């Protein structure tokens, strides 16, 4: 198996940035779809659920594939550095977020759902009363930061497997997978484990089939995560993905259309029925086709540096950490305005982006203490983002 890693995979950087931007756009629309959310507009639009279904089919799966691919690059520093890096990049911002700004999102949810009527300051001590989702308030999953929590668990839980695959006898297994998966049809065998599992994941179980985790049950993300590791370890598999990008895209569109048609004709299947197994099995196959198509398109067209990509790649984690809290804070005010709903969405979208980027650029990016709390590396000592006379200049470590 060819496993030589290039110094930098710009296509993965591009896809990571674009995927998080899509998460941001989707979250701005959550005020207006028919599904429950932390804060809702007075009028909702069920048609938006169908649009959301298209994005949910591939968005978080793609992010987990990219995250799995990043594991192989991170392992070059050794297992000890790998663990330290995951604590710094994932656990620190997760804990910081849960104990600070995530509290605002929980407060707004409890207030708009008529479970609390006091001020935010009155809510703060109540935040630690029980677990959110189990009758309490404490956001143990971090609301949208659940991704950091799950990725941290996956990264540590599968570290022994990753080390065995790259440095032990597991290399023979990777070589065998390379031979099978690099064939034209073999590539889509990546979809089988998760697809076969889905009919047995009860959507009523929060830790199994509940699709509130970005549209998928948590166990299915394991296969996307591991697939990312396998894909990036093989140049031949990547070449096959690149060459079959249009085939994968056509398959993804066709399978997603078929899934939607079945759900309209049959109604969404109930767990335990043949309809459920068929519909969500097809949905899983569609997801894999979309993910492989997007990866292939990225390999073909996006593996190029751009001056601002380095900035965007560094900003993407703090942006993700902050964006939903900003969206909820602004949206809570805007949804009550007597203006057209489309205009509300535009204001929430543009305003939240500007505020989130402003917080990043003028606070998080410039202060080492905040860089640490948001999972970023410290500034080099010679870097002067603040003028010497600026009152915050002395805050740099």
What is the per-residue pLDDT across 176-219, written as a single tens digit (0 to 9) for each? Answer: 888 899 999 999 999 999 999 999 999 999 888 898 899 999 99
Q: Would you say residue 46 lies in a domain?
A: yes
Query: Would you say residue 28 lies in a domain?
Result: yes
Domain presence at residue 260: yes
Residue 396 is assigned to a structural domain of this protein:
no
> 341-359, pLDDT tens digit by residue?
999 999 999 999 999 999 9
**H/E/C letters for each residue in the chain?**
CCCCCCCCCHHHHHHHHHHHHHHHHHHHHCCCCCCCCCCCCCCCCCHHHHHHHHHHCCHHHHHHHHHHHHHHHHHHHCHHHHHHHHHHHHHHHHHHHHHCCHHHHHHHHHHHCCCCCCCHHHHHHHHHCCEECCCECECCCCHHHHHHHHHHHHHHHCHHHHHHHHHCCHHHHHHHHHHHHCCCCHHHHHHHHHHHHHHHCCCCCCCCCCCCECCECHHHHHHHHHHHHHHHCCHHHHHHHHHCHHHHHHHHHHHHHHHHHHHHHHCCCCCCCHHHHHHHHHHHHHHHHHHHHHHHHHHHHCCCCCCCHHHHHHHHHHHHHHHHHHHHHHHHHHCCCCCCHHHHHHHHHHHHHHHHHHHHHHHHCCCHHHHHHCCCCCCCCCCCCCCCCCCCHHHCC
Determine if the pTM surpasses 0.75: yes
Look at residue 128 and tell me if it is in a domain: yes
Is residue 376 included in any domain, yes or no?
no
Residue 391 located in a structural domain: no
Is position 2 within any domain?
no
Q: Look up the domain containing 313 and give its range.
A: 10-365
The pLDDT of 136-149, averaged and rounded, is: 97
Number of folded domains that form the chain: 1
The whole-number pLDDT of residue 396 equals: 35
pLDDT band, very low/low/confident/very high, at 389 (cuts 50, 70, 90): very low
């Amino acid at each position: 198996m060819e496993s030589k890693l290039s110094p930098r995979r710009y296509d993965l950087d591009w896809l990571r940035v674009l995927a998080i931007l899509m998460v941001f756009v989707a979250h701005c629309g959550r005020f207006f779809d028919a599904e429950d959310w932390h804060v809702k507009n007075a009028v909702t639009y069920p048609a938006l659920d169908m649009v959301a279904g298209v994005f949910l089919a591939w968005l978080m799966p793609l992010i987990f594939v990219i995250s799995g691919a990043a594991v192989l690059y991170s392992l070059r520093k050794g297992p000890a550095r790998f663990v330290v890096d995951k604590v710094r990049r994932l656990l620190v911002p997760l804990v910081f977020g849960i104990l600070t700004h995530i509290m605002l999102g929980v407060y707004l949810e409890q207030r708009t759902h008529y479970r609390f009527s006091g001020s935010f300051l009155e809510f703060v001590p109540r935040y630690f009363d029980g677990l959110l989702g189990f009758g309490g308030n404490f956001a143990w999953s971090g609301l949208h930061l659940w991704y950091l929590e799950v990725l941290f668990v996956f990264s540590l839980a599968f570290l022994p497997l990753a080390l065995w695959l790259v440095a032990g006898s597991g290399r023979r297994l990777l070589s065998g997978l390379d031979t099978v998966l690099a064939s034209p049809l073999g590539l889509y065998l990546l979809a089988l484990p998760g697809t076969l599992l889905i009919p047995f994941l009860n959507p009523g179980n929060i830790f199994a089939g509940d699709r509130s985790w970005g549209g998928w049950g948590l166990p299915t993300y394991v296969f996307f995560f591991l697939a990312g590791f396998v894909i990036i370890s093989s140049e031949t598999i990547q070449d096959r993905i690149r060459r079959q990008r249009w085939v994968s895209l056509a398959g993804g569109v066709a399978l997603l259309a078929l899934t939607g048609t079945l759900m309209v004709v049959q109604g969404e299947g109930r767990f335990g029925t043949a309809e459920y197994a068929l519909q969500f099995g097809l949905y899983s196959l569609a997801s894999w086709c979309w993910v492989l198509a997007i990866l292939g398109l990225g390999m073909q067209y996006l593996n190029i540096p751009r001056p601002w990509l380095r900035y965007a790649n560094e900003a993407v984690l703090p942006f993700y950490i902050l964006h939903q809290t900003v969206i909820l804070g602004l949206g809570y005010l805007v949804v009550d305005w007597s203006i057209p709903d489309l205009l509300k969405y535009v204001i929430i979208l543009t305003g939240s982006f500007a505020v989130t980027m402003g917080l990043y650029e003028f606070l998080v990016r410039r202060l080492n203490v905040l860089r640490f709390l948001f999972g970023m590396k410290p500034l080099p000592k010679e870097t002067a983002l603040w003028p010497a006379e600026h009152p915050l200049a002395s805050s740099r470590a």
